[in-house]
Amino acid sequence: MNVLIVYAHQSSGSFNAAARDVAVEVLTEKGCTVDVSDLYAMNFKATATVEDITGGVKDPDCFSYAEETKLAWEEDKLSSDIVKEQSKLKKADLVIFQFPMYWFSVPAIMKGWIDRVLTLGFAFSPEKRYSEGMFRDTKAMLSFTTGSLESMFSPNAINGDMTVTLWPLQNGILHYCGFQVLGPQIFWAPAHVSRSDCNTMLNGWRTRLQNLLNEEPLAFPPLDYFEKETGYQIKPEIDEKHATEEFGLTVGTHLGKKVPPNNQMIWCQTIEPRG
């Protein structure tokens, strides 16, 4: 198995670095080939610009990044750093995004990797997305630290429901490209808990990694649940089938019902801070 870890943290002494190192160690011991894209060490360019295309663009007066990079991908005219990352991604059976959560999302340098590497044509197309996506044979997951305690990420707490926070990342990016999305590995506020609790979280990650490749992915409604002719609205028969159920299908496609609890989570290790 080939594993790609897309890693975004500036410090080699960080908790994220420790989580990355645990993943490399355990997965290598299990016989995997592990490749790490250390974005800060690579000085990876975060901005998606015309410079990502070599040899000129089709329409410089009305530049469309998506369309121009699609054409460049087809003609082997993407910049070398994008091509290198796409090559790693094509080989991967599992992709782990390791990062500290910034502003309820990924760091800018990781968002830049997503913007620039997952180009139209290579990672998705209007015909090949969601359950029919390009990477439907590849698993992917988020592994990240938070700055707030777990208690602050609930439906009744100030930060709101973490399952809702993760929907744009897990559905709008990973599932959109077809990835089989594994439940996230969340390290709750390592900067605000004891060293012992940090070690417990890392040991939990170590344990999970032993069987990670055999985990069942999160459930998303397949593309054939929706009608193209109505702007990809849920099909009436699917809506009727779930009419009497208490919860919707997913956090995003909830059919006007209650948001299903932990729909974007499955895996979550709770560590209570010590006083």
Indicate the pLDDT class of residue 55, thresholds 50, 70 and 90: confident
DSSP states of 142-179 as a string?
A: EEEE-SS-GGGSSTTSTT--HHHHHHHHIIIIIITTT-
Element (H, E) at 24: helix 15-29
- Which 8-state DSSP code applies to residue 266? S
Instruction: State pLDDT tens for residues 190-212.
Output: 999 999 999 999 999 999 999 99
- The arithmetic mean of pLDDT across residues 235-252, rounded, is 92
- CA–CA dist 132, 176 (Å, integer): 9
Q: What per-residue confidence (pLDDT) applies to 266?
A: 67
Q: Which domains does the chain have, with CATH numbers?
A: 2-221 (3.40.50.360)
Q: pTM for the whole thing?
A: 0.93
Instruction: State pLDDT tens for residues 133-175.
Output: 999 999 999 999 999 999 999 999 999 999 999 999 999 999 9
- CA–CA dist 179, 182 (Å, integer): 9
Question: Measuring CA to CA, which residue among 44, 148, 47 is closest to residue 101?
Answer: 148
- The arithmetic mean of pLDDT across residues 220-243, rounded, is 93
Whether 98 contacts 16, CB under 8 Å: yes
